Homo-oligomer: A and B are copies of this chain.
Amino acid sequence: MRPLCVTGLLLAAFLPARADEGMWLFNKPPVRQVREAHGFEITPAWLEHLQKSSVRIGKGGSGSFVSEQGLILTNHHVGSGMIEKLSTSGRDLLKDGFYARELAEELKCPDLEINILMSIEDVTGRVNAAIRADHSPEQAAAARRAVLAEIEKESLDATGLRSDVVSLFQGGAYHLYRYQQYTDVRLVFAPDAQAAAFGGDPDNFEFPRYCLDFCFFRAYQNGKPAQTPHFLKWQAAGAAEGELVFTSGHPGRTNRSVTLAQLEAMRDDGFPHRLEQIFRGETTLRAWSDRDQENARRAKGAIVGTQNGRKAIQSRLDGLLDPGFMADKSRREAELRSVLRENDTWKNADAAFERIARAEETKRGFALRYRMLEGAEAFGTSLFGIARILLRTADEAEKPDGQRLRGYQESSRASLELELFSEKPIHDNFELLRLENSLTSLCSKLGADDPTVVSILAGKSPFERAAELIHSTGLQEAALRRKLYAGGGKAVAASTDPMIALARLVDAEARELRAKAEALDEVIAQAHQQISQARFAIEGDSNYPDATSTLRLSYGVVKGYHDRIPVPAMTRFRGLQKRHEEQGGIPPFDLSETWKERAVALNPDTPLNFVSTHDITGGNSGSPMINRKGELVGLIFDSNAPGLLSDFAYSAEKGRAISVHPAGILEAMRVIYRADRVLAELGH
């Protein structure tokens, strides 16, 4: 579509005016932009190779194939949940690291799936055709759900590939993504957490930085290493300062094209609520962790995750609490709306902003109840999650595929079963802690005299009720879960397991809240669709959409920045040693005994971490950095703090992606970890 002629001001406000901006779709790559800015021609073959070398790890991480035997490189912090699940009280793989000296020693993960994007198809027309103008929001939401399930089921049946229809441009477009899925994934190598997460929470989202935040998994098929012809070769020299580099990964979510009203709802309600829950969770987990060393081991991953979330949300909230930013957003939105109002075709799009504001306000009226009951924040144990899956799987199975709740379609079955049958360790004392904490939060949020709260507590205090539930449920055992799942609705209905009873107790109200929220989301989606169409007409449709956990291509250059003082683009092993010493070697600035013994043989000049101008966000962790030749020249693991504001707008001034340098990985693998088998497989 050809951009219409509007004021330059408006174009400036909505087109990616800044170099290196954008999280581009693989089916709408920034060919022109890269050609114009960097003189490099993205070819279909180059793109396909990168796409099929890229791996989505679990639900929210990125990675890449780095050998033709399915070897996967990702971040240690992306793999750490699995590494923790593979640990026991006697064998702490997070703390000590892991190296499979032989193929047979590689450790199978209890519930890790990876997905490789094989194809993309635009199905916007078919989805929109299913919605009639006279549909109520509830009817439209149902119709949309039905057509999405239908497309996914058709595709699954036709190709055998996992098939997800994803919404892009806030509902402005729908694309069908087909994935090759692997559910047998094994741990190959992980460094100790001291090296992987050197500097811990204090250094998280900071630069200069000194982390070996990498690990290796391997995809298996039929019990053997998967054949993966598309993989990335390593360029140990990395990229030079100023060099054009690409990254391919799964940025989770950005909010660049939401409306001012939506940002205000995030600023005054959504983010404060999440932060509050994070503060509660982090405090509770740390207090429990401090009690003894086994507690500390069990809670470690959850604490790191919470701390990471805290910094991410705090930075975003800081961004929204900057009156200058909000004023700018407000001005740009007002300009767009004034253009829309003056044009008969787009008038609806102007009114759409008001509909979104009203829908957000209505959602906010029951948001707390929704989060507690349907969002299950009141039930902070994975055992409740299991109970709900069992209950809802049984209930949903009786409906046609297209009428089921999203996530319970046939196309999601493999993922659901992987989660349900996972043999990951479940520690009763940890689950009890979290459930007591969340039930207390429920009482405080909805009031202890709220009828639903009273029925959930069943005449007991949060602690007593949590203890009763955790000690009486049998859902810790995967065997029981398998049995109930196999027995279907009848078995689940007959179950007297108290956790299932609890899930059943709240299910009617939770579903009702969900239906209300989905109807409002439908209103918002339709409104955004109108706005998107107007924007396509103004800007052309060659722009990139907000992040949605789908595979995206970003480009940029290796580049330092200025933060009161100049910050060079690269750190080296020398700097790691210095920071270790100046912090007195106190955790999280400590190094392992092995490290201290062998580090003398490390070349202190070897690059360790570096920054670049790529437009990324959470979910990009583990993304490979690739040079023009398609060689791996880095491994993204973080943003700096200014980079976190990319949620709302890209800025190349101070915002930076942070990567591990391939030379640093290879040097540590050789000198410290002596992981010769993996080095050989990488060809180094």
Which A residues have a C-beta under 8 Å from some C-beta of B? 200-202, 264, 267-268, 271-272, 275-276, 278-280, 282-283, 286-287, 290-293, 307, 310, 317-318, 320-324, 326, 440, 443-445, 447-449, 457, 459-464, 583-584, 586, 588
Which B residues touch A275, using CB under 8 A? 280, 444
User: Measured between C-beta atoms, what is the minimum distance from A459 to chain B in Å?
Assistant: 5
Which B residues touch A202, using CB under 8 A? 287, 290-292
> Is the beta-carbon distance between B440 and A290 smaller than 8 angstroms?
no
> Is the beta-carbon distance between A447 and B268 smaller than 8 angstroms?
yes
- A627 and B457 CA atoms in complex are apart in Å by 45
Nearest B residue to A317, CB-CB: B440
Can you list 17 contacts pairing A with B, beta carbon distance less than 8 Å? A264-B448, A264-B449, A267-B443, A268-B447, A272-B444, A272-B445, A276-B280, A278-B283, A279-B279, A286-B286, A317-B444, A318-B440, A322-B464, A323-B459, A323-B461, A324-B459, A326-B448
Which B residues touch A323, using CB under 8 A? 457, 459-461
- Number of chain copies forming the complex: 2
> Is the beta-carbon distance between B588 and A290 smaller than 8 angstroms?
yes
> Is the beta-carbon distance between B290 and A201 smaller than 8 angstroms?
yes
| Set B287, B321, B459: member contacting A440, Cβ < 8 A | B321
Nearest B residue to A278, CB-CB: B283
- A96 and B486 CA atoms in complex are apart in Å by 63
- A301 and B443 CA atoms in complex are apart in Å by 31
> Is the beta-carbon distance between A586 and B267 smaller than 8 angstroms?
no
| Set B271, B283, B326, B462: member contacting A321, Cβ < 8 A | B462
> Is the beta-carbon distance between B321 and A443 smaller than 8 angstroms?
yes
Closest 5 CB pairs of A and B: A272-B444, A279-B279, A322-B461, A202-B291, A279-B283
Which B residues touch A317, using CB under 8 A? 440, 444
Nearest B residue to A445, CB-CB: B272
Which B residues touch A443, using CB under 8 A? 267-268, 321
> Is the beta-carbon distance between A310 and B283 smaller than 8 angstroms?
yes
> Is the beta-carbon distance between A321 and B201 smaller than 8 angstroms?
no
Nearest B residue to A446, CB-CB: B268
> Is the beta-carbon distance between A287 and B448 smaller than 8 angstroms?
no
Which B residues touch A459, using CB under 8 A? 323-324
Nearest B residue to A289, CB-CB: B202
Beyond known contacts A321-B448, A323-B459: 20 more, CB 8 A cutoff? A201-B287, A268-B443, A268-B449, A272-B444, A275-B444, A276-B276, A276-B279, A278-B283, A279-B279, A279-B283, A283-B283, A287-B307, A293-B583, A317-B440, A317-B444, A318-B463, A321-B440, A321-B462, A322-B460, A324-B459
Which B residues touch A272, using CB under 8 A? 444-445
User: Measured between C-beta atoms, what is the minimum distance from A298 to chain B in Å?
Assistant: 15
Nearest B residue to A460, CB-CB: B323
Which B residues touch A292, using CB under 8 A? 202, 583
- A272 and B310 CA atoms in complex are apart in Å by 20
Which B residues touch A460, using CB under 8 A? 322-323
Nearest B residue to A325, CB-CB: B461
Which B residues touch A293, using CB under 8 A? 583-584, 586
Which B residues touch A287, using CB under 8 A? 201-202, 307, 310
User: Measured between C-beta atoms, what is the minimum distance from A19 to chain B in Å?
Assistant: 26
- A279 and B282 CA atoms in complex are apart in Å by 8
